[in-house]
């Protein structure tokens, strides 16, 4: 099985949750989200666009999180995939489908050595 990088943020974890590598992006997302929720934490989609060739509409098949990153201060990409969709497009997609999804913003601290 080839590891697939996904971004899932976890809040209020009462214990350590080890990352799970599953078969493909959606299974890996869902399995990690399930592990976070099972441990009593709160799961959030992080950088939901950040996959080359990822069909952003398929993320609707993942259940559990009610938080989604809609702004990321990562220096390389803050708008989503400018060729196809943005953070706001994905957020709207969840809301249009009746899902409760609150937006979050992060800075990722990629450049925390330079103030």
Answer yes or no: pTM beyond 0.75.
Answer: yes
C-alpha–C-alpha distance, residues 73 and 68, integer Å: 14
Q: What's the token pair of residue 51?
A: 């996959």
pLDDT value at position 52? Answer: 55
pLDDT 10s digit of each residue in the chain, 115 long?
A: 565 567 888 999 999 999 998 888 888 889 999 999 999 999 998 876 555 556 778 889 999 999 998 877 766 555 555 566 777 888 899 999 999 999 988 776 666 666 5
C-alpha–C-alpha distance, residues 51 and 58, integer Å: 12
pLDDT value at position 18? Answer: 94
**What residue ranges in the chain does DSSP mark as E strands?**
8-11, 42-45, 67-72, 102-106
């Amino acid at each position: 099985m080839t590891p697939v990088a996904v971004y899932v943020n976890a809040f209020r974890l009462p214990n350590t949750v080890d990352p799970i590598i599953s078969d493909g992006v959606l299974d890996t997302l869902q399995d990690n989200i399930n592990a976070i929720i099972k441990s009593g934490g709160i799961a959030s989609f992080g950088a939901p666009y950040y996959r080359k060739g990822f069909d952003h509409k398929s993320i609707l098949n993942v259940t559990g999180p009610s938080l989604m990153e809609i702004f990321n201060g990562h220096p390389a990409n803050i708008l989503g995939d400018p060729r196809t969709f943005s953070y706001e497009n994905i957020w709207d997609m969840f809301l249009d489908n009746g899902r409760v999804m609150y937006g979050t913003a992060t800075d990722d601290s990629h450049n925390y050595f330079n103030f």
